[in-house]
A = this chain, B = another copy of it.
């Protein structure tokens, strides 16, 4: 039995941890209960590094741990690049003792956080990585107290990115990496991670998982996996979000799939799955106040168009930011439905839902 919480904190800039510090100062949150940090940061990769360093220093000071221990024990999942009406913010994943809190009816928000063993660059993007992520996901489910895959509503994975230095390291040791283009290899690492989640949850069968299928056979995918890669990671960091009878949380999780950017019914299902009422295409006002967090994993840039119409995300001058555009669009549509822009949107489509889909996880106060 444990209590779980997700706390959203706006940030004024990538280095702004004052909102988190204020929670600590006010006694509303104990630093030792922060199990993972999931952030929407403005700016590019350097801003992500800045944000990570800032929260690492804060936790190091408050916990009295060296920074290396903070880094080892508390995964930071930083999603950079905001556009449109996206609003930078922190999501703190919190677990604390139940401490006599009454057992609620039904299953409540369950969180499991696990880090895999260190992976060698030559394992990235291959079936070996799929298996490692599957094992880590199962371990995180156990920690969360989730027995059935049906109770998992989102799995966030931060896996290692391929870098030129890692390619050279593998080659020096006579090993073959999945692709010598770092971006392509990193994409395959994200794909393998998503398939790892799918394997753990029974969404794909082990027999279909071959090296050749990774980032090729898009029929294989997870409907709850959201993966990103970082050059600073050497292992896979996994956060499982679902519901469990072992949790006394005030919150419940749910999810849904938008099959394309216009699929409002898919988005509605995500909100209903978390116990919220949707009317006239929107979450009703009473439900809006109960929303604790929304995570949207956007896939528009993975499809050449929408319902037969082309878009210009890849052909136009700004094509290098296609993922940012995909996030901005999915974020806007879901924000309009819930009347708030404090939603986290990530981009990533490798085996994360069918091509062009958005995956949505909603966490809300139980009725």
Does A176 interact with chain B (Cβ within 8 Å)?
Answer: no
Report B-chain residues with C-beta under 8 Å of the C-beta of A94: none
Report B-chain residues with C-beta under 8 Å of the C-beta of A63: none
B interface footprint on A279-314 (CB within 8 Å = 1, 0 otherwise): 011100000000000000000100001110111110
> A262-290: which have CB < 8 Å to B?
262-265, 268, 280-282
Does A1 interact with chain B (Cβ within 8 Å)?
Answer: no
Please state if B43 and A316 are interface contacts (CB–CB under 8 Å): yes
Does A73 interact with chain B (Cβ within 8 Å)?
Answer: no
B interface footprint on A321-336 (CB within 8 Å = 1, 0 otherwise): 1001110111011011
Shortest CB-to-CB span from A53 to chain B, Å, is 6
Please state if A86 and B50 are interface contacts (CB–CB under 8 Å): no
Q: Which of A264, A317, A342 has the most CB of B within 10 A?
A: A317
- Stretch of A77-85, A152-160, A205-213 at the chain-chain interface: A77-85
Does A88 interact with chain B (Cβ within 8 Å)?
Answer: yes
> A319-357: which have CB < 8 Å to B?
319-321, 324-326, 328-330, 332-333, 335-337, 339-342
Does A57 interact with chain B (Cβ within 8 Å)?
Answer: yes
Shortest CB-to-CB span from A352 to chain B, Å, is 18
Please state if B280 and A325 are interface contacts (CB–CB under 8 Å): no
User: Within the complex, which residue of B47, B53, B88, B264 is in contact with A282, where a contact is CB–CB below 8 Å?
Assistant: B264
> A7-59: which have CB < 8 Å to B?
10, 12-15, 42-44, 46-47, 49-50, 53-54, 57
Report B-chain residues with C-beta under 8 Å of the C-beta of A335: 261-262, 306
Report B-chain residues with C-beta under 8 Å of the C-beta of A306: 85, 87, 335, 341
User: Within the complex, which residue of B12, B50, B282, B320 is in contact with A320, where a contact is CB–CB below 8 Å?
Assistant: B320
Q: Please, how many angstroms separate the alpha-carbon atoms of A337 and B262 in the complex?
A: 7
The answer to whether residues A316 and B261 also contact, given A44-B44, A47-B47, A333-B332 and a CB cut-off of 8 A, is no
Does A318 interact with chain B (Cβ within 8 Å)?
Answer: yes
Please state if A336 and B339 are interface contacts (CB–CB under 8 Å): no
Does A68 interact with chain B (Cβ within 8 Å)?
Answer: no
Shortest CB-to-CB span from A252 to chain B, Å, is 23
Report B-chain residues with C-beta under 8 Å of the C-beta of A53: 15, 50, 53-54, 57
Q: Please, how many angstroms separate the alpha-carbon atoms of A4 and B85 in the complex?
A: 37
Q: Please, how many angstroms separate the alpha-carbon atoms of A286 and B282 in the complex?
A: 21
Report B-chain residues with C-beta under 8 Å of the C-beta of A325: 83-84, 328
Report B-chain residues with C-beta under 8 Å of the C-beta of A300: 84-85
Please state if A87 and B310 are interface contacts (CB–CB under 8 Å): yes
Please state if A311 and B14 are interface contacts (CB–CB under 8 Å): no
Please state if B88 and A312 are interface contacts (CB–CB under 8 Å): yes
Q: Please, how many angstroms separate the alpha-carbon atoms of A264 and B312 in the complex?
A: 25
Report B-chain residues with C-beta under 8 Å of the C-beta of A49: 13-15, 50
Please state if A261 and B82 are interface contacts (CB–CB under 8 Å): no
Q: Please, how many angstroms separate the alpha-carbon atoms of A230 and B257 in the complex?
A: 40
Closest A-B pairs by Cβ, 5 of them: A281-B281, A46-B47, A50-B50, A320-B320, A84-B329
- In the assembled complex, 20 residue pairs joining A and B whose CB atoms fall closer than 8 Å, in A order, are A10-B309, A10-B310, A12-B310, A15-B46, A15-B50, A42-B46, A43-B46, A44-B47, A50-B53, A84-B84, A84-B311, A85-B311, A262-B335, A262-B340, A280-B280, A306-B335, A307-B340, A328-B329, A332-B332, A336-B336
